[in-house]
Amino acid sequence: MSRVFNFCPGPAALPETVLERAGKELANWHEKGLSIMEMSHRSKDYVGVAEKAEQDLRDLMNIPDNYKVLFMQGGASSQFTMVPMNLLRGGNKADYINTGQWSIKAIAEAKRYCEVNVAATTEGNAFTSAPSQDELNLSADAAYVHYCPNETIGGVAFDYIPDVGDKVLVADFSSCILSEPLDVTKFGLIYAGAQKNIGPAGLCVVIVREDLLGDTIAGTPTMFDYKVCADNASMYNTPPTYSWYLAGLVFEWLKEQGGLEAIAKVNRRKAEKLYGFIDTNPFYANPVAIANRSIMNVPFTLADASLEKSFLAESEAAGLLNLAGHRSVGGMRASIYNAVSEEAVDALIAFMADFAQRNS
């Protein structure tokens, strides 16, 4: 069976070679006579797989030694809770930048634990841009500053890393981690749900500066304490072993592609092609400020919204899947993560050109 082109925002496409390798290894991992899923997470073999995955991620992102890499559960949504629980550190205020639906969810959760200062919001322009550094109204007594560098639903990305002085910068990198090189040292904490650029759902990667560990608010559940997770090498309890293993295969694949510099070039080319096409064809539109267009999630509308159903049906019939926009905003969205090939983007553009011509 041939594979489709999958533009799903998450769980998203995985590299085909990774899936093939996982398939080959599924029932009999490295001639051990059992699947990796059936092994104790404390066995030498599994710990080797887990440690290699962490090292490969450290190599790819150039993560300094004074940062812990945690393989957690509960998705990025649980981080909306864990961040205030672990990082308020005696304070009772945090700054949040609001650029869309995932920022809103993070803010709502933080409000359960502290006062939230919304340092900037682009709600006024329907979340079609990110605020500039000058527009950030940071408070002197915030324990940390939180933002979402890539809003998956709106397709809005920051084109800079906010300068927060000596404050702790926290970022939800769920939909853009590993898409391009990143200076980890600018952050106190980075988190990302796995199911876009890392691997299958069930895993959430947290990269946190060591000195921020160990001062949780009263009542923090043991499983939500970053220090407990770090002290136990992310194995305080049984981790999602298969997702972690598969993430390791994705990291190996990324290294084979030439690492983040190389994949960023491909990602930029893919995004430029798609936005370039949308901007020159009056049948399609993208509302996001050019500087803030995401290279991972490309929302677009059709000139005639009544054609959306046929656009989706025909694209699916052509082997282009999951192009519907988020249920909260409608329209279309193509998610073009690392594992979505340039060939897939070319096929999408060809389909869009043909559809526009037939319906104009």
Residue placing its CB nearer to ligand PMP in the complex, 175 or 322? 175
334: contact with ligand PMP by CB under 6 A = no
152: contact with ligand PMP by CB under 6 A = yes
The 8 Å CB, 24+ separation contacts for 55-61 are 56/248, 56/251, 56/252, 56/254, 56/255, 57/205, 57/247, 57/251, 59/255, 59/259, 60/178, 60/251, 60/254, 60/255, 60/259, 60/260, 61/178, 61/182, 61/184, 61/207, 61/260
Residues 238-277 touching ligand PMP, rule: CB under 6 A, are none
Single-letter code of the amino acid located at 138 = L
Active-site position among 29, 56, 68, 102: 102
Confirm whether residue 152 is marked as ligand binding. yes
102: contact with ligand PMP by CB under 6 A = yes
* Whether the Cβ atoms of residue 100 and residue 153 lie closer than 8 Å to each other: yes
Residue placing its CB nearer to ligand PMP in the complex, 154 or 356? 154
Give the residue at shortest CB distance from ligand PMP. 75
User: Cα–Cα distance between 325 and 301 in angstroms, integer?
Assistant: 9
User: Cα–Cα distance between 70 and 232 in angstroms, integer?
Assistant: 10
Residue with tokens 């000596």: 166
Query: At its nearest, how many Å lie between ligand PMP and the CB of residue 319?
Result: 24
Asked if 24 is an active-site residue, the reply is no
Confirm whether residue 42 is marked as ligand binding. yes
Residue placing its CB nearer to ligand PMP in the complex, 61 or 156? 156
Options 155, 193, 199, 325; binder of ligand PMP; rule CB under 6 A: 193
Query: At its nearest, how many Å lie between ligand PMP and the CB of residue 45?
Result: 28
Query: At its nearest, how many Å lie between ligand PMP and the CB of residue 1?
Result: 28
Asked if 244 is an active-site residue, the reply is no
